[in-house]
Structure 1
Amino acid sequence: MTVSLKQEYVNVPGGFVCLNIYGANNKSAIPILYIHGGPGGNIESFRPMAERLAADHAVYLYNQLGCDESSHTGEESLWTPERYVEALDGVISAIGAPKIHLIGRSWGAYLAAEHLLGTPKSPAISVTMISPFLSTKRWIDDAKSRVAELGKDCLEMVEQCERDNHFDGRWYKEIIERYNDNFRYRVATVKREGHFATPLKPKTASGMAVYRHMWGPSEFTCRGNLKDIDITDRLHEIKISVLLICGEFDQVRQSTCEYYRSLIPGARIAVIPDASQTSYLEEPNIFYWTLKNFYECF
């Protein structure tokens, strides 16, 4: 089935973003806005799922400012959490829907939460948080516990690199690669027959600059301006429906998602078997029906 794709440009603080709209003619169902991870990531890995969801909904996706070739910005002063939340606010306003479903992955879940906490009259009636980043400390604790699963020597090497502030060595880079293959995008799982064999698009040069400035050299080492993020004490203020999704082998552990669920009134959780942080590619059918069943409540 061919799904229509429409593009619009939206002005945001510091520049503009390109809004990709799948199924723009679907007016009967509540639209969906996907907010990618990172910082510095992109929307490419979610496109197959967006196309599938667009059979019933209009699905909006955008690359955050500085994350693709068309919206490059070299102004580090703009690379702040507050600026990205303002940009999300602008995108939601530009969509102009009276009701909308939000989907935020990792960093995108944080942006969605900040939008909801700062916008009492947001049109969002639900938010799905995939492998959510809501606390830097919990993220790092989970990530390092996953590094330890690769071997005690791996964790010792990471901690030594952090003490030396040296992250360009071969061993550190190899640990990153093994970590990604096990907990971020389990290639062996995705290549099983019947699954989408969609590769992750690497961060662009500008996207990687955003990532290193705001976060750091890897998922398990934070040196940027997100190092003190923690909004767990405010999660109880979220009053709309919340679905938390993590993979069985996710870098965000199930115990962390369970903790977040305990803080958000009425929140639900779904754990995708055989999947990591990219569950919508690794187990697309389970992910799709998990989301579909959630949306049937509206």
Structure 2
Amino acid sequence: MTTEDIPTTSGLADFVVDGKTYQTFYIIYGDLRNLGKRRPLVGLHGGPGFSHHYMIIPVVLYDQIGNGASSHIRDAPTEFWTLELFMNELENLLKHLGIQDNFDLLGHSWGGMLASAYASIRIPSGLHRLIIANSPASGPLMMQGFNDLLDLLPGNAAEIVRSNEAAGTLQDLDYQKTLEVFQKKHICALDPWPQGLVDSFEEYKKDQTVYLALWGTLEFQLTGNLKDWSIIPSLAQISVPTLLLSSPQDEIQPVAYMPFFEHIPKVKWVDIPGCSHVAMYEAPDR
């Protein structure tokens, strides 16, 4: 079966927050009508998209609120953007599609942070399997790994980044060039970048509201709502079989993702060699 043979449907799910109705855009690859035989996989995005190699089973992808084709709320205060909000949105979408009693979950990057929180805090009875890909279990540990990699860049790269972030001179040409070097080594090593990844970055540039609220203004220091975030104390509550995916050159380093392996009871860990943050593009056949 080729991707052209797979039925594709899309739609909008109403999502009510504090009495206001927003919309979540979703797209379904495959057929959700036979859930007894083919359990759907719900993908939670981080930065790039999702690999089409999963499409022999129904796959549900969606743009989280504030992103892509879903509702944008540029005037929402920083405190609006919480992990609770995104867990509520996921739960709402599952119910909208009628799959809340039988689904698997895959989260990549920030999506893995959301997926691990949903699985360990909400403990949904309909979740059967969990995949956490290139994701950290802790904001501070993620930043520790980022800065360890920064120190390995040649020359005075680390000094350039830290001095400019301390001064707030984020448009400095040397700073921007150093970020580009880091991204081409630890986000995606392909040249040129895949169009799907380029498109995702373009969408991010159009509206950075969510990114700035959750992450902050700096690249190597969290200043947003995730700066103190850690799901480690809750990981033992994840009872479903879990697959942990990592890559040696990923910006998410072992210090940040190994707590998943150490604390989730039923977990298998696969490290994908020769890849960085987007192994779905760099090694799609693995």
Q: TM-score range by the shorter chain?
A: 0.7 to 0.9
1:208–1:254 distance in 2 versus 1, CA, 3 Å: same
User: C-alpha distance in 1, partners of 2:155/2:16?
Assistant: 44
User: C-alpha distance in 2, partners of 1:277/1:129?
Assistant: 13
Alpha-carbon offset, residue 26 of structure 1: 7.1
Name the residue aligned to 2:30. 23
Alpha-carbon offset, residue 142 of structure 1: 0.8
The answer to which of 231-240 and 161-170 deviates more is: 161-170
Alpha-carbon offset, residue 226 of structure 1: 1.2
Alpha-carbon offset, residue 199 of structure 1: 4.0
User: C-alpha distance in 1, partners of 2:266/2:130?
Assistant: 12
Name the residue aligned to 2:233. 233
1:70–1:30 distance in 2 versus 1, CA, 3 Å: closer
Check the 8 A contact 1:17/1:65 in 2, yes or no: yes
For 1:118, give the aligned amino acid. Answer: I
Give SS of 2:104's match.
strand
Name the residue aligned to 2:107. 104
1:197–1:285 distance in 2 versus 1, CA, 3 Å: farther
Deviations 1:144-180 (Å, cap 9, x if unpaired)? 1111222251112222223223322222211221111
Name the residue aligned to 1:282. 282
Greater percentage in helix: 1
Name the residue aligned to 1:180. 183
Name the residue aligned to 2:49. 45
Runs (5+) with no aligned partner, structure 1: 287-298
Name the residue aligned to 1:67. 67
Runs (5+) with no aligned partner, structure 2: none
Which TM-score applies when normalising by structure 2?
0.87
User: C-alpha distance in 1, partners of 2:169/2:214?
Assistant: 18
For 1:6, give the aligned amino acid. Answer: T
Name the residue aligned to 1:151. 154
Deviations 1:168-221 (Å, cap 9, x if unpaired)? 222221122111111111114x88xxxx77543213445423212221235422
The percent identity for this pair of structures is 22
Name the residue aligned to 2:45. 36
Alignment of structure 1 residues 179-198 onto 2, 5 Å: 179-188=182-191, 198=196
For 2:85, give the aligned amino acid. Answer: R
Alpha-carbon offset, residue 13 of structure 1: 3.5
Name the residue aligned to 2:122. 119
User: C-alpha distance in 2, partners of 1:197/1:80?
Assistant: 30
How many residues end up aligned between the 2 structures? 272
1:4–1:115 distance in 2 versus 1, CA, 3 Å: same
| CA RMSD across the alignment | 2.1
Alignment of structure 1 residues 130-141 onto 2, 5 Å: 130-141=133-144
The answer to which of 240-249 and 217-226 deviates more is: 217-226
1:279–1:122 distance in 2 versus 1, CA, 3 Å: same
User: C-alpha distance in 2, partners of 1:121/1:259?
Assistant: 21
Give SS of 1:187's match.
coil
Check the 8 A contact 1:258/1:269 in 2, yes or no: no
Alpha-carbon offset, residue 104 of structure 1: 0.4
Check the 8 A contact 1:248/1:273 in 2, yes or no: yes
Give SS of 1:268's match.
strand
Check the 8 A contact 1:13/1:83 in 2, yes or no: no
1:92–1:83 distance in 2 versus 1, CA, 3 Å: same
